[in-house]
Amino acid sequence: MEREEEVILQEDASVGTVKIADDVVAIIAALAATEVDGVSSLAGNLTNELMSKVGVKSLTKGVKVEVSEGSVAVDLALNMEYGFNIPETCQKVQGKVKSAIENMTGLTCSDVNIRIAGINMKKDK
């Protein structure tokens, strides 16, 4: 059975509590990663364009998120497009994922670890 983790962002007795599920952080990370040129998809995942058709839940495959005391560590497994510089592309992914998580959740992103799981070969015309 999968346990759903949540992080409490704000606790104010007069207004209420704001909680973010780990899956939400994983979806933010996945969307940010797949927006970078050179990233084909997440490993074990469909491309970003198909997400609206099949649902967002499958987007979290290839993403592992650990939240502890307001800090987030993300592990991504990516499929890259052939012909892109892997270290440069990964650096862009790390920056974009870190920025997206911090801007959208207010949490600090301590680590964005990337594993290249495959290369997508484009077919010529």
- Domain positions in the chain are 21-120
Task: State the CATH architecture for 21-120.
Answer: 2-Layer Sandwich (3.30)
Furthest CA-CA distance within the chain: 62
CB-CB contact of 112 with 30 (8 Å):
no
Q: What's this model's pTM, rounded to 2 decimal places?
A: 0.79
CB-CB contact of 79 with 120 (8 Å):
yes
> From CA 34, how far away is CA 79, in angstroms rounded?
10
Please report, in angstroms and rounded to a whole number, the separation of the first and last CA atoms in the chain. Answer: 46
Instruction: Answer yes or no: is pLDDT of 117 > 70.
Output: yes
Rounded mean pLDDT of 50-57?
50
The string of pLDDT tens digits covering residues 12-33 is: 667 777 788 888 999 999 999 9
Instruction: Answer yes or no: is pLDDT of 70 > 50.
Output: yes
Q: For residue 102, what are its two tokens?
A: 């911090």
Q: For residue 120, what are its two tokens?
A: 């997508």
